[in-house]
């Protein structure tokens, strides 16, 4: 089905439903700061006509032909509001003020799933923050560009749109989930750096201890990306165009039959970019672009990337039922995703490729089931399963190496052409997850949560060129994560504790071709060798929150956790990453503390302050190094025996009504080599003992200033202006204590500024925005000093039909 037909079909469903509707009143119920209020009641006074708002604060009330009546809006924690509706008025927004006497009230019964999750986050002992992605809906950013502005989060990229990246929270590897499902199970075409912001409702960032329900083997924390899901029908379309011939489009929609409760929801996106931005020589930073002249390499001032095109697409359709006696939600779905990524660079700035690319196609059927009061009262069940199949081709058709002018050069071994590379990887995966949560009373003072997660990956690699190939030799990985957690509330809910135990299991298997072939392709020596191993570990955690006063409190958590290697780390990716079968799971003993303060004053002002600190002792810390394979620089994961990490972060937020917003955060994240001896007799002291781990940021921060105004140019319009700044302090690329000061390689301090202007009209139905990133064209470097895009401009148009 073509994209045009697909969009037409969804639109037809929506407008058909409108045609059948009665005269209605619709709008939003929001707080004084412009945030939607969920489950507010909107009613016609003196009648039984009423409805409730959804997660956006949106309502739609069927009023027929009535005139001259009053509308009342009520919600727990807010002062009720009533107004006389004007004749023929069909759209009305409401702003409710906080009721200080009701702020502590919580109505557990009748909560929506979204409310239940948000309230769990607020009352939990976990160090968690939530990013409302709806405020970024008009930006051309991807999820990773928003996420990297959070305190304690680093996302290390090696290029533009679709580039490889490394993700950490407070210095340790963190896991990424989409609606509670590990992102690894969505195939290579789904990644933080290609998911448009319009598909996402909110992002939950857990630092330190991770809840058992995520079934995680994360160390530093986890990110749970919550996609947009509504019970009403809606459609959101967006398209953007920008520098480097970048195109991004997205679609998210939902249709629910009000009688049968049959629901159809869909998500789709498309990304394309040439990524042909300029690269520059900066000798003082050791960044030198080269070209060959008379068999010698000479520096050049600048060059443009020429083999870095990227495109990806994804389509997802889910069909199911809601609000049935046997299920709150039951959905079956199908996801298809594909991408094509040219490979410009290896691990270093002058490791160039001119004919290397990677393409994949992925399909995944899914099944999900959710039910409150499952079998018995107060037992919540969330069951999910998927099967995925991915086909990936790694190709390199270039016979020679390349220089920065885009011209081929002779190989180091002479002018003999290099052999073409073409490998095919077939990967099948299965994920099964069950999450059960039992509340011992309606007030949820005591809850027990059980989670079991099993995931399998089976990869077979086929060499499409060599006639004595390794076709079909398997690489297998099975992960088992089981968790049991007890959450309790004490002292009139001022104290919340969460105690958990976990089991981590890793089962791996591979076959290696060690055969040697003669001139007639006969086996001279060697055989196909199989290797397998099983690793099992136990972890435990404690997370507590104590509310000192109404607006603030402290948090503390401690844990022993493990991070299991991923498929790419163990088996490589056939392109830029080299396998390391001996890679060990990473273990960390963590302590985390925090203080939070949130308050309103004079009704119109809001202040939020978050402080956190951490101390961690990691064993077999997983890091990335550069290795040479077949005369090419590549990446490889390896273990550092012992690492000590410590640091902290802060975030300050201020808001005035829905007009002014300001956010400022900073992070300090130090990692020290903590392995003193290099031999078993403890006689040889390591040269790196006590020194900082290289090639990782350790001081960074962000600034975000926003100004908005309603009804500037027309009734129902909103104009918004944002300025953002990202700061990263310089850090060493290599060991800081080796060599002279002049010879040390480092990545320079970076200060990147961006500017956004957006305008929406017809009550946020139509939106247009313009964005300038890296306005001052700062030289931005990241992983292993690979340069990122400079100044860039983007424009975006979005239509949101509610």
Neighbours of 720 (CB within 10 A): 21
Whether the pLDDT of residue 798 is over 90: the answer is: yes
Are 595 and 554 in contact by the 8 Å Cβ rule? The answer is yes
DSSP letter assigned to residue 49: -
DSSP letter assigned to residue 197: G
Kindly indicate the confidence band of residue 742, based on its pLDDT and cuts at 50, 70 and 90. low
* CA count, 13 A, side-chain hemisphere, 469: 15
Residues in the chain, how many?
802
Find the mean pLDDT for residues 261-288.
90
Neighbours of 231 (CB within 10 A): 17
At residue 8, the pLDDT reads: 43
For the chain, give the percent of residues with pLDDT over 90: 44
DSSP assignments along 271-306, one per residue: EEE----EEE-BGGGTB-EEEEETTEEEEESEEE--
Kindly indicate the confidence band of residue 35, based on its pLDDT and cuts at 50, 70 and 90. confident
Whether the pLDDT of residue 347 is over 80: the answer is: no
Q: In this structure, are strands 766-773 and 750-761 parallel, antiparallel, or unpaired?
A: antiparallel
Are 696 and 673 in contact by the 8 Å Cβ rule? The answer is no
* CA count, 13 A, side-chain hemisphere, 531: 11
- Read off φ and ψ for residue 585, nearest 5 degrees: -60, 150
Whether the pLDDT of residue 663 is over 70: the answer is: yes
> Of the ranges 202-216, 266-280, 429-443, which one carries the lowest mean pLDDT score?
202-216
Query: Which residue carries 């000093």 as its tokens?
Result: 785
Q: For the segment 771-785, what is each residue's pLDDT rounded down to a tens digit?
A: 999 999 998 887 767
Structure tokens, 736: 């800081």
Find the mean pLDDT for residues 593-614.
90
Q: Indicate the domain borders of the chain.
A: 3-96, 113-801
The superfamily (CATH) of domain 3-96 is Carboxypeptidase-like, regulatory domain (2.60.40.1120)
Whether the pLDDT of residue 489 is over 60: the answer is: yes
Structure tokens, 560: 């022993």
DSSP assignments along 453-498, one per residue: EEEEEEEEEEESS-SS--TTEEEEEEEEEEEEEEEEEETTTTEEEE
Structure tokens, 529: 């060798």
For the chain, give the percent of residues with pLDDT over 70: 90
At residue 20, the pLDDT reads: 43
d(CA 149, CA 666) in angstroms, rounded, equals 10
Residue 71 bridge partners (DSSP): 44, 83
Within 8 A by CB and 6+ apart from 116, the residues are none
> Of the ranges 219-223, 348-352, 536-540, which one carries the lowest mean pLDDT score?
348-352
d(CA 261, CA 319) in angstroms, rounded, equals 11
Structure tokens, 617: 């002792």
CA angle 438/208/128 to nearest 5° reads 65
Give the global pTM: 0.86
At residue 15, the pLDDT reads: 43
Structure tokens, 732: 């060493």
Please report, for residues 154, 659, 706, the alpha-carbon distance to residue 722 in angstroms, rounded to integers and kept in the order given: 22, 11, 4
Query: Which residue carries 């869909």 as its tokens?
Result: 266
Whether the pLDDT of residue 145 is over 90: the answer is: no
Q: Which listed CATH number (3.30.70.100, 3.40.50.720, 2.40.170.20, 3.40.50.620) goes with 113-801?
A: 2.40.170.20
d(CA 38, CA 800) in angstroms, rounded, equals 19
Comparison of pLDDT for 744 and 197, the residue scoring more: 197
Find the mean pLDDT for residues 304-319.
94
Structure tokens, 402: 């390349």
Are 757 and 737 in contact by the 8 Å Cβ rule? The answer is no
DSSP assignments along 648-664, one per residue: EEEEEEEEETTTEEEEE
Whether the pLDDT of residue 4 is over 50: the answer is: no
d(CA 134, CA 581) in angstroms, rounded, equals 42
* CA count, 13 A, side-chain hemisphere, 327: 13
At residue 723, the pLDDT reads: 96
Find the mean pLDDT for residues 563-573.
91
Within 8 A by CB and 6+ apart from 230, the residues are 54, 55, 56, 254
Within 8 A by CB and 6+ apart from 220, the residues are 168, 169, 170, 171, 172, 173, 174, 207, 208, 588
Q: In this structure, are strands 94-96 and 24-31 parallel, antiparallel, or unpaired?
A: parallel
Neighbours of 630 (CB within 10 A): 9
Whether the pLDDT of residue 340 is over 90: the answer is: yes
- Among positive and negative, which fits the CA dihedral 198, 202, 208, 209? negative
Name the helix (H) or strand (E) containing 520: none
Find the mean pLDDT for residues 397-403.
83
- Cα 147 from chain centre: 7
Are 393 and 436 in contact by the 8 Å Cβ rule? The answer is no
Return mean pLDDT, the chain.
85
Sheet holding 94-96, edge to edge: 58-62, 24-31, 94-96
Whether the pLDDT of residue 583 is over 50: the answer is: yes
Using DSSP, state whether 121 is helix, strand or coil: helix
Neighbours of 509 (CB within 10 A): 15
Neighbours of 445 (CB within 10 A): 14
> Of the ranges 115-119, 190-194, 588-592, which one carries the lowest mean pLDDT score?
115-119
Query: Which residue carries 């500017």 as its tokens?
Result: 755
At residue 468, the pLDDT reads: 54
Q: For the segment 8-28, what is each residue's pLDDT rounded down to a tens digit?
A: 445 444 444 444 444 788 888
d(CA 707, CA 712) in angstroms, rounded, equals 13
DSSP letter assigned to residue 198: G
Q: In this structure, are strands 750-761 and 746-747 parallel, antiparallel, or unpaired?
A: unpaired
Whether the pLDDT of residue 564 is over 80: the answer is: yes
């Amino acid at each position: 089905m073509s994209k045009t037909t697909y969009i037409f079909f969804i639109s037809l469903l929506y407008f058909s439903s409108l045609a059948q509707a009665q005269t209605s009143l619709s709008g939003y119920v929001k707080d004084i700061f412009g945030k939607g209020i969920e489950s507010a009641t909107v009613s016609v006074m003196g009648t039984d006509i009423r409805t409730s708002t959804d997660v956006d604060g949106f309502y739609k009330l069927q009023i027929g032909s009535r005139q001259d009546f009053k509308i009342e809006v009520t919600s727990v924690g807010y002062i009720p509001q009533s107004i006389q509706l004007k004749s023929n008025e069909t759209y009305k927004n409401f702003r409710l003020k906080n009721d200080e006497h009701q702020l502590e009230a919580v109505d557990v019964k009748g909560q929506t799933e979204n409310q239940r999750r948000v309230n769990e986050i607020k009352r939990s002992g976990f160090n968690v923050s939530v990013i409302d992605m709806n405020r970024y809906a008009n930006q051309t950013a991807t999820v990773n560009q928003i996420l990297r502005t959070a305190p304690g989060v680093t996302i290390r990229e090696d290029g533009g749109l679709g580039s490889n990246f490394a993700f950490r929270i407070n210095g340790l590897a963190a896991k990424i989930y989409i609606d509670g499902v590990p992102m690894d199970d969505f195939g290579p075409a789904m990644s933080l750096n290609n998911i448009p912001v319009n598909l996402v409702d909110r992002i939950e960032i857990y630092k330190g201890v991770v809840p058992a329900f995520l079934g995680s083997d994360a160390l530093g924390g986890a990110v749970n990306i919550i996609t947009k899901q509504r019970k009403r029908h809606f459609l959101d379309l967006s398209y953007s165009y920008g520098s480097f011939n970048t195109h991004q489009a997205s679609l998210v929609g939902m249709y629910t039959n009000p009688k049968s409760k049959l629901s159809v929801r869909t998500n789709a996106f498309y990304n394309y970019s040439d990524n042909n931005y300029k690269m520059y020589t900066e000798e003082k930073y050791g960044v030198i672009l080269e070209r060959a002249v008379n068999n010698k390499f000479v520096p050049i001032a600048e060059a443009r990337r020429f083999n870095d095109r990227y495109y990806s697409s994804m389509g997802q359709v889910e069909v199911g039922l809601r609000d049935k006696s046997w299920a709150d939600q039951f959905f079956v779905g199908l996801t298809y995703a594909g991408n094509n990524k040219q490979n410009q660079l290896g691990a270093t700035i002058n490791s160039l490729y001119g004919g290397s690319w990677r393409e994949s196609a992925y399909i995944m059927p899914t099944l999900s089931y959710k039910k409150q009061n499952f079998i018995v009262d107060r037992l919540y069940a969330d069951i999910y399963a998927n099967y995925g199949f991915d086909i990936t081709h790694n190709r390199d058709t270039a016979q020679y190496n390349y220089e920065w002018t885009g011209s081929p050069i002779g190989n180091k071994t002479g002018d003999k052409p290099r052999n073409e590379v073409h490998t095919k990887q077939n990967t099948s995966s299965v994920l099964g997850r069950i999450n059960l949560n039992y509340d011992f009373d309606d007030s949820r003072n005591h809850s027990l949560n059980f989670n079991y997660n099993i995931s399998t990956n089976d990869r077979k690699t086929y060499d499409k060129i060599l006639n004595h190939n390794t076709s079909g030799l398997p690489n297998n990985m099975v992960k088992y994560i089981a968790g049991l957690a007890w959450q309790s509330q004490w002292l009139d809910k001022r104290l919340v504790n969460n105690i958990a135990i976990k089991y981590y299991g890793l089962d791996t298997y591979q076959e290696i071709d060690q055969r040697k072939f003669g001139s007639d392709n006969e086996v001279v020596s060697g055989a196909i060798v199989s290797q397998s191993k099983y690793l099992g570990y136990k972890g435990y955690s404690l997370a507590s929150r104590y509310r000192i006063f109404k607006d603030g409190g402290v948090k503390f958590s401690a844990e022993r956790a493990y991070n299991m290697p991923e498929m790419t780390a163990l088996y490589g990716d056939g392109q830029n990453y080299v396998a390391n079968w001996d890679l060990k799971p990473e273990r960390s003993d963590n302590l985390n503390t925090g203080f939070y303060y949130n308050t309103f004053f004079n009704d119109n002002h809001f202040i939020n302050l978050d402080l956190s600190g951490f101390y961690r002792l990691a064993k077999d810390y997983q890091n990335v190094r550069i290795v040479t394979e077949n005369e090419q620089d590549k990446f490889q994961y390896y273990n550092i025996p012992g690492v000590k990490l410590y640091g902290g972060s802060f975030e300050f937020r201020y808001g005035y009504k829905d007009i002014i917003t300001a956010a400022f955060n900073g992070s300090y994240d130090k990692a020290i080599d903590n392995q003193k001896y290099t031999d078993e007799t403890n006689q040889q002291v390591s040269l790196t003992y006590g020194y900082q781990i290289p090639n990782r940021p350790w001081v960074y921060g962000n600034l975000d200033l926003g100004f908005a105004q309603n009804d500037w140019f027309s009734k129902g319009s909103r104009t918004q202006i944002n300025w953002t700044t990202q700061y990263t302090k310089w850090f060493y690329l290599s060991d800081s204590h080796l060599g002279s000061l002049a010879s040390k390689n480092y990545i320079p301090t970076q200060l990147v500024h961006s500017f956004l202007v957006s305008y929406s009209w017809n009550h946020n139905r139509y939106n247009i925005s313009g964005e300038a990133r890296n306005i001052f064209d700062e030289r931005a470097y990241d992983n292993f000093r690979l340069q990122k895009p400079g100044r860039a401009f983007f424009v975006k148009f979005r239509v949101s039909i509610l």
